[in-house]
């Protein structure tokens, strides 16, 4: 056992003395949380738009002012011809153009009917959709104000409630996602590189002739990374509670234990990758392609899994991060207990055991 | 010049003789380009709906049918009480609850107004926002049909009405891959450009072969050019493969010129390769270099407008994007491919990227030392 701890210490010193790597291991989750929490949102606001007003009367000016006053739009340009619309879009300046035909107010007040054209840059379909919806709502409000708010008969009122996240903050879904990403990265990628590195440089030979059992050597290599991951989890949780105001609604003990379980899954994957790779470069790229991207894509925090084509939906099931994400979301945000996540936990446990089993069987004591 | 030729020969041999590099360089990006746009789809479909119908009337039935047949929703749960429906949301079986109160039909027909209650799982804000917008739209439509049935509308509009007409330019079918593929291609090229050259130099450092180059009469500019040029060419080949896939698989035919794309890419790659070189001059081990590159590229990609719009960021974050070469390239790709922008439209972006090229490469050459 003493020998074992000496190996853990050796590995720890490797990490501790490589200050650049350590620096990044510690700062990566922090920077990610801050970026995801503050900088990145899918909400559309301050979209720059242009106006082509051929009437320039009281009605159009009022509507333009109301559009400009909302937090979604910023009118940055007045156009003077149809051709200018295309040119401005091509320069990438605006997202939406609002076109008023001539005699807008006259038509509106005398014929009771007037038209507005909204031209959206639909190269980004979601933003285009959202912007036309917002603009239409503002125009309808104006129309309503002309009608002096007469109540229409037979009206259905829909009361809307947003559960768990009433302000629709993106950080609620990003925090669990970043946890999955960071743990995968630190544990799996870093351990696989650390093991393969000893192979590539040749020091593995020295270690393998030591009296310690080979598998213990590998475990000793993973323990310091487990420690770094636990530190990372603590940082992420502290930041999300105190800086991003994302609450931990469920049990902290459950959340941390599930995270440690996921960390062990990730470590097992790291060992498995290191078995197959001969050079650090191939270990890095295998980890990047088989871990980072699937975690980003299939955990469900950036892109909804239900919208994917069915073969990808099936693939998503073998990605451990998907199950971990569901667990964190349920425990942390929804505040549910173990009864709600036992199935996902069981899946992770089985995955871990299978992965560990395969990597132990394939671990080679002899160098080729 | 002869020295450079030999260096290039050496680098190309090294690249082509390592099958793993070749695999990662070509096969991986192609697979990603085939899978990522399908997965990276923000279009919200198949929202799971739980219905709690206390009314059980003809009207509530018509409304439910209308919602289910819209194509956006899947009826997954039909509960008797709201707490039961809430449980199905907790277990992720449903995303949205529609509660139809008692006497819905009676209230609507007799009292002229009725209420509906919608609750959405809002952990994922976009999904909740769009889902509730869809359902409200359907309810409005339904409301309109009910109204039409009961009131005879006069032939002329009794009140001023504004008719809003929509046109969706550049992507009228709202095809999401049109938007994502150019951006993802940029991301892949950036990863290749910044990582491979850097790893290559650090590998020579770690294995010790750089000593041999350092004692040779090779000038450091030649050495760096020898590392830059092969990966510059390879990245352009990958770009070409990507553009072919975009055309054949996703049917994305650029409205602008391919030449514009290549001119910009050629300059952009110099900047990104320079960034890789710069990182390699600081790193001692491949692990370090990879991790630093990964960290920087991750921030660049997140702050590039690939996944989330730049305009929505707070001001300080927008300022950061000005110093991010990736954001310029993504903007240019989308402009040229989808809107047909020409060189004159993208001149600001070109100047910015030239600036990055000079800055990164200059710093890298200054910082590269032949002494260890």
Partner-chain contact A117 B133, CB within 8 Å: no
Residue intervals of chain A classified under CATH 3.40.1710.10 are 47-146
- The edge-to-edge listing of strands for the beta sheet with A73-78 is A73-78, A47-53, A96-100, A113-121, B161-169
**Which pLDDT score, from 0 to 100, does residue B125 have?**
74
Contact assignment for A285 to B24 by CB distance below 8 Å: yes
Cβ atoms of A167 and A245 within 8 Å: the answer is no
Whether the per-residue pLDDT at B317 is higher than 60: the answer is yes
In the predicted model, what is the mean pLDDT of chain B?
83
Fold of B47-150: abc type-2 transporter like fold (3.40.1710)
- C-alpha B296/C-alpha B283 separation (Å) is 14
Give residue limits of the domains in chain B.
2-40+174-367, 47-150
Q: What pLDDT score does A368 carry?
A: 52
Q: Kindly tell me if the per-residue pLDDT of B227 is higher than 80.
A: yes
Whether the predicted pLDDT of A366 surpasses 70? no
pLDDT grade for A364, boundaries at 50, 70 and 90: low
**Range B69-76 average pLDDT:** 86
Rounded CA gap, B272 and B360, in Å?
Answer: 8
Q: How far is CA B335 from CA A32, A47, A122, A212, in A?
A: 28, 17, 12, 60
Mean of pLDDT values over A125-133: 81
Provide the pLDDT for residue B208.
Answer: 79
For position A141, what pLDDT does the model report? 81
Calculate mean pLDDT across residues B300-326: 83
Average pLDDT over residues B363-367: 84
- Mean predicted lDDT score pLDDT of chain A: 83
What is the pLDDT at residue B22?
72
Closest to B261 in 3D by CA, of B358, B342, B170: B342
Give B222→chain A minimum CA distance, Å.
25
Q: Which helix (H) or strand (E) holds A159?
A: strand A155-163
Q: What is the mean pLDDT of residues A107-118?
A: 85
B356 — pLDDT class (breaks 50, 70, 90): very high
* % residues pLDDT > 70 (chain B): 95
Q: So what's the pLDDT on residue A152?
A: 64
Q: What are the phi and psi torsion angles at B240 (to 5°)?
A: -60, -45
Instruction: Report pLDDT for B42.
Output: 67
Q: Please tell me the least confidently modeled range out of A26-40, A322-336, B251-265, B327-341.
A: A26-40
Q: Give the model's pLDDT for residue B32.
A: 80
Which residue did the predictor score with more confidence, A302 or A261?
A261
- Residue B226's pLDDT is 84
Give the confidence band of A149 by pLDDT, cuts at 50, 70, 90: low
Q: What is the pLDDT of residue A310?
A: 84
- In the predicted model, is pLDDT for residue A360 greater than 80? no
Do A351 and A206 form a contact (C-beta atoms < 8 A)?
no
Instruction: Tell me the mean pLDDT in the region B171-176.
Output: 74
pLDDT tens digit sequence for A272-327: 888 878 787 778 877 877 787 788 888 877 777 877 888 888 888 888 999 999 89
- In the structure, what pLDDT confidence band is assigned to residue A345 with cuts at 50, 70 and 90? very high
Chain B residues whose CB is inside 8 A of the A142 CB are: 162
Question: Tokens 């992965």 label which residue?
Answer: A355
User: Looking at per-residue confidence, does B69 or B167 come out higher?
Assistant: B69
Dist CA B46 CA B42 (whole Å): 12
Chain A residues whose CB is inside 8 A of the B127 CB are 304
Q: What is the dihedral of CA A351, A356, A361, A367, to 10 degrees?
A: 130
Q: Is B152 an 8 Å CB contact of chain A?
A: no
Say if the ipTM goes beyond 0.90: no
Residue A347: which pLDDT band, with cuts at 50, 70 and 90? very high
pLDDT attached to residue A261: 93
Q: What is the pLDDT of residues A7-47, one digit of tens each?
A: 888 888 888 887 877 888 888 888 888 887 777 776 777 88
Identify the pLDDT of residue A148.
Answer: 63
Which is higher by pLDDT, B281 or A367? B281
**What is the per-residue pLDDT for A349?**
94
Top mean pLDDT of A35-39, A51-55, A164-168, B222-226 is at A51-55
B155 pLDDT more than 60: no
CATH of region A47-146: 3.40.1710.10
When pLDDT is cut at 50, 70 and 90, the band that residue B157 belongs to is low
- Cα gap B44→B159, rounded to integer Å: 36
Task: Answer whether B108 touches A (CB < 8 Å).
Answer: yes
Which residue from B43, B123, B288 is facing A307, i.e. has the nearest CB? B43
pTM, 2 dp: 0.79
Distance from CA of B203 to the nearest CA of A (A): 9
**Looking at beta carbons, which residues of chain B come within 8 Å of A246?**
none
Q: Which residue in B39, B120, B312 is closest to A297 by CB distance?
A: B39
Residue B149 has pLDDT above 80, yes or no: no
pLDDT for B343 equals 83
Say if CB B160 and CB A109 are below 8 A apart.
yes
Query: Hey, what are A75's tokens?
Result: 């009118």
Instruction: Please indicate whether, in this complex, the C-beta atoms of B309 and A114 are within 8 angstroms of each other.
Output: no
Measured between CA atoms, the residue of chain A closest to residue B172 is A122
Distances (CA, A) of A64 to A74, A79, B53: 10, 13, 42
Whether residue A351 has pLDDT greater than 90: yes
Give the gap in angstroms from C-alpha A178 to the nearest C-alpha of chain B.
12
Could you tell me the CA-to-CA distances from B74 to A240, B80, B231 in Å, in that order? Answer: 33, 18, 49
Please say if the pLDDT value at position B372 is more than 60: no
**Collapsing DSSP states into helix, strand and coil, what is residue B363?**
helix
- Provide mean pLDDT across the span B96-101: 90
Confidence bin at B314 (pLDDT 50/70/90): confident
The size of chain B, in residues, is 372
Q: Averaging pLDDT over each range in A290-294, B62-66, B133-137, B154-158, which range is the top one?
A: B62-66
* CB interface of B with A, residues 155-184, below 8 Å: 156-172, 174-176, 178-179
Reported confidence tier of residue B269, pLDDT bands at 50, 70, 90: very high
């Amino acid at each position: 056992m003493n020998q074992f701890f000496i190996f853990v210490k050796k590995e720890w010193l490797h990490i501790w003395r490589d200050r650049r790597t350590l620096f990044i291991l510690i700062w990566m989750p922090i920077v990610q949380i801050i970026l995801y929490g503050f900088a990145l949102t899918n909400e559309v606001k301050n979209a720059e738009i242009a106006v082509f007003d051929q009437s320039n009367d009281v009605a159009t000016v009022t509507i333009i002012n109301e559009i400009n006053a909302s937090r979604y739009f910023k009118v940055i340009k007045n156009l003077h011809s149809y051709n200018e619309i295309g040119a401005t879009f091509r320069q990438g300046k605006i997202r939406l153009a609002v076109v008023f035909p001539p005699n807008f107010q006259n038509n509106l007040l005398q014929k009771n009917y007037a038209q507005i054209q909204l031209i959206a840059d639909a190269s980004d379909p979601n933003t285009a959709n959202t912007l036309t919806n917002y603009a239409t709502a503002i125009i309808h409000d104006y129309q309503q104000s002309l009608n002096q708010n007469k109540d229409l008969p037979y009206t259905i009122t829909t009361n809307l409630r947003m559960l768990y996240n009433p302000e629709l903050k993106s950080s609620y879904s990003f925090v669990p996602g970043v946890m999955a990403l960071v743990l995968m990265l630190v544990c799996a990628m870093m351990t696989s590189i650390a093991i393969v590195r000893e192979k590539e440089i040749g020091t593995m030979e020295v270690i393998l002739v030591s009296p310690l059992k080979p598998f213990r050597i590998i475990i000793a290599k993973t323990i310091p990374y487990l420690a770094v991951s636990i530190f990372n989890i603590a940082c992420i949780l502290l930041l999300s509670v105190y800086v991003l105001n994302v609450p931990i609604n469920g049990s902290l003990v459950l959340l941390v234990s599930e995270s440690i379980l996921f960390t062990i899954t990730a470590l097992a994957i790291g060992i498995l990758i290191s078995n197959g790779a001969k050079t650090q470069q191939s270990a890095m790229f295998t980890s990047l392609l088989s871990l980072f991207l699937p975690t980003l894509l299939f955990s469900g925090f950036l892109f909804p899994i239900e919208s994917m084509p069915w073969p990808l939906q099936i693939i998503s099931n073998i990605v451990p991060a998907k199950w971990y994400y569901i667990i964190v979301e349920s425990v942390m945000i929804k505040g549910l207990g173990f009864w709600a996540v036992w199935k996902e936990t069981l899946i992770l446990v089985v995955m871990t055991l299978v992965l560990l089993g395969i990597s132990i069987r394939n671990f080679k004591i002899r160098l080729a | 010049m002869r020295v450079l030729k030999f260096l290039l020969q050496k680098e190309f041999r090294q690249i082509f003789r390592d099958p793993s590099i070749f695999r990662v360089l070509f096969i991986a990006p192609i697979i990603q380009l085939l899978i990522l746009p399908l997965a990276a789809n923000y279009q919200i479909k198949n929202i799971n709906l739980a219905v709690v119908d206390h009314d059980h009337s003809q009207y509530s039935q018509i409304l439910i049918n209308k919602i289910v047949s819209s194509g956006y929703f899947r009826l997954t749960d039909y509960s008797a009480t709201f707490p039961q429906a809430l449980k199905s949301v907790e277990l992720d079986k449903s995303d949205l609850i529609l509660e139809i109160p008692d006497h819905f039909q009676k209230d609507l027909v007799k009292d002229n107004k009725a209420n509906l209650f919608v609750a959405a799982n809002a952990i994922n804000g976009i999904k909740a926002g769009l889902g509730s917008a869809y359902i409200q739209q359907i309810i409005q439509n339904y409301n309109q049909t009910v109204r039409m049935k009961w009131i005879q509308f006069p032939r002329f509009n009794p009140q001023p009405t504004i008719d809003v007409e929509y046109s969706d330019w550049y992507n009228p079918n709202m095809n999401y891959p049109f938007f994502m593929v150019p951006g993802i291609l940029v991301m892949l090229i950036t990863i290749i450009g910044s990582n491979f050259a850097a790893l290559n130099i650090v590998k020579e450092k770690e294995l010790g072969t750089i000593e041999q180059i350092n004692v040779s009469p090779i000038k450091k500019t030649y050495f760096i050019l020898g590392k830059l040029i092969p990966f510059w060419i390879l990245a352009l080949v990958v770009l070409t493969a990507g553009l072919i896939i975009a055309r054949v698989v996703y049917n994305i035919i650029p409205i602008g010129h391919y030449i514009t794309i290549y001119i910009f890419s050629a300059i952009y790659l110099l900047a990104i390769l320079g960034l890789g070189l710069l990182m390699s001059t600081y790193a001692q081990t491949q692990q370090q270099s990879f991790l630093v590159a990964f960290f920087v590229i991750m921030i660049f990609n997140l702050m590039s407008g690939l996944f989330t719009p730049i305009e929505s960021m707070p001001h300080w974050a927008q300022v950061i994007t000005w110093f991010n070469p990736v954001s310029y390239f993504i903007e240019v790709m989308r402009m040229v491919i989808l809107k047909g922008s020409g060189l004159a439209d993208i001149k600001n972006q070109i100047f910015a990227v030239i600036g990055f090229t000079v800055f990164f490469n200059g710093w890298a050459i200054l910082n590269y030392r032949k002494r260890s």
